[in-house]
Amino acid sequence: MSNLSNIDFENLSREDLISILECEKEDILKIMSLANSKREHNYVTYSKNVFIPLTKICRNDCGYCAFKQNPDDPDAIILKDKEEVLEILKEAEKYGCKEALFTMGEDADTEEAVKVKLDKLGFKTMADYIYDICKSTAEETSLLPHTNAGNFSYEDMKMLKEYNISMGMMLESSSERLTRTIAHEKSPGKNPKLRLETIKNAGKLNIAYTTGILIGIGETKEEIADSLLAIKELCDKYGHIQEVIIQNFTVSPGIEMENYEEPSLLDMLRTVAAAQLLFDEGVSVQVPPNLNYETSQIFLLCGTDDWGGVSPLSEDYVNPSSPWPTLEKLEKLTNDAGYQLKERLAIYEKYINEKYIKNPELLEKTKQTQKKINK
């Protein structure tokens, strides 16, 4: 049985977090109210983006994944040509999108089909290709690149920083045990040591970063607490984590975990409140609205202040069965909860400086774009 009376909410310990994550119904409203009391402002932000999967080939094979394709699939995205990417970006400009979200399967260039396509295009690695795509995006369109593509080496991240205003990767879980379960047993890239090293390297390189956890894939409350604390440790040390996503496992047709139970709404509320109470001011806690369409407003009452990336043009390729709400619907949900909807960039405003964006042309472009949405 949880006991909230002994919790130091100003300095949460692992045991405190576990108590929050296990709290019973009479305490849930209390922790929601406490979490919401940390809210810094009366608005909820979102980033208007276009979501482009550069490849859907992936070395990992997660039990919950609805994104990965096999190279022999006739509809598989092996590697998009730059001309196709730029065409999509030009269309996104018409919708007022500011963020070019590039995602792809992790370590896709370990697959022969991707290697062949990269060689044909004149690139050795996916990192080289991504760099070229982001450079063209920054120089030939009005959009600002954000890459979310799993683990990268320190040197690759250093290279990609030149043309990315921010980057991201979900930790998902710091649990080694989950690497021996259906969720991650066929996914070497989900080794938590590798993922924490990537997040750490982003901190060393002063890259504004998005990460988070995935709940409902077989983790324990103790493992949720450990995952949040692992992110908090890196956040406190480097100051580069701008937002933490609390994402719930959702069932998609055909996935290996199709018959698994999704996390309950109360489990989500406990986890969101725990994250909001744990992280310092200035770190946004986000719950994807398309995965919680009917219940998204209640997370605002737990202190969440960001909807994440929302696209008026492209689908959520990672969660294809969960379409994004329209911006009109998102604004209505936000206003009905007593808050204002506010657009942001893929990099939060406090990070728009020479430390986090060293490329002077990209920095100036980012500043000018920020001025436009501040009007």
> Is the distance from CB of 66 to CB of 255 less than 8 angstroms?
yes
Contact indicator for 234, 203 with CB cutoff of 8 Å: yes
Residue 314 CA to residue 167 CA, distance in Å, equals: 19
Helices (H), 59-102: 82-94
List beta partners, residue 306: 45, 286
Distance CA 63, CA 45 (A): 31
Is there a binding annotation on residue 302?
no
What is the distance between the alpha carbons of residues 53 and 75, in angstroms, rounded to a whole number? 13
Q: Is 65 annotated as a binding residue?
A: yes
- Residues 48 and 96: their CA atoms lie apart, in Å, by 7
Kindly tell me the sign of the dihedral angle through the C-alpha atoms of 30, 31, 36, 40. Answer: positive
Contact 98, 369 (CB under 8 A): yes
* Conformational region of residue 154, where left means phi above 0, alpha means psi within -120 to 50, and beta covers everything else: alpha
Compute the distance between CA of residue 131 and CA of residue 94 in angstroms, rounded to an integer: 24
Cα separation, 142 vs 168, whole angstroms: 21
Residue 62 known to bind ligand: yes
Contact 265, 235 (CB under 8 A): no
The strand ranges marked E within 96-177 are 99-104, 144-148, 166-168
Contact by Cβ (8 Å): 246, 278:
no
* DSSP track, 246-287: EEE----TT-TTTTSPPPPHHHHHHHHHHHHHHSPTT-EEE-
192 Cβ neighbours under 8 A, 6+ residues apart = 171, 173, 174, 175, 176, 179, 230
E runs forming strands in 12-143: 43-55, 99-104
Q: Which residues are annotated as a binding site?
A: 58, 62, 65
Q: Which residues are annotated as a binding site for [4Fe-4S] cluster?
A: 58, 62, 65
